[in-house]
Amino acid sequence: MMLKTYEDLLKFSKDNLNAAVAFNTTLTKGLEDLYRENVGFAGKALETAVEAGKEIAAAKSPVDVASVQTKVARETVEALVAQSRKVTELTSEALKAALEPVNARAKEAMTLFAVKAA
C-alpha cells in the first residue's frame, strides 16, 4: 500500500503523532516509577544508617564497632546490587513499553514506502 491521497498522508501523520504521544506518556510513567523506587530506596538507606549509628553508639568495644560496620557494609552492598537489578529491570520494561507504538509506526512506514522488487 502506498500513500495515494492527501487524506492518506494526513492519517499517516496523525498516527505518527499519536505514537509519539503514547511514547512520551509511557516513558513519563516509567520515569515516575523509577523516581518512586529510588526515593523509597533512599529512605530505607537512611533508616539503615540511623540504626547503624545507634548500634555503633551502643557498642562496648572497638571490636563491636568493627562488627557493626562490617555487617552494615555487607548489607549495603547487597542492597545496592538488588536495587541496581531492580532499576535495570524497571528501565528496560519502561523503554520496551514506550517503544512499542514507535516500532509499530516504523513497521507501517516500511510497508507504505516499500518499493516492490521487479
4: nearest Cα among 118, 117, 116, 113: 113
Q: What is the pLDDT of residues 23-36, one digit of tens each?
A: 999 999 999 999 99
Other Cβ atoms closer than 10 A to 97 = 15
Determine the distance from the C-alpha atom of residue 89 to the mean position of all C-alpha atoms in its chain, rounded to a whole number: 7
Residues in the chain, total: 118
Give the pLDDT of residue 2. Answer: 65
Place of cell 512499542: 100
At CB < 8 A and 24+ separation, what contacts does 110-113 make? 111/1, 112/1, 112/2, 112/3, 112/12, 113/2
Residues of the chain with pLDDT under 50: 117-118
Give the pLDDT of residue 115. Answer: 62
Q: How far from 58 is each of 2, 16, 45, 50, CA to CA, in Å?
A: 77, 63, 20, 12
DSSP designation for 61: S
Give the pLDDT of residue 92. Answer: 96
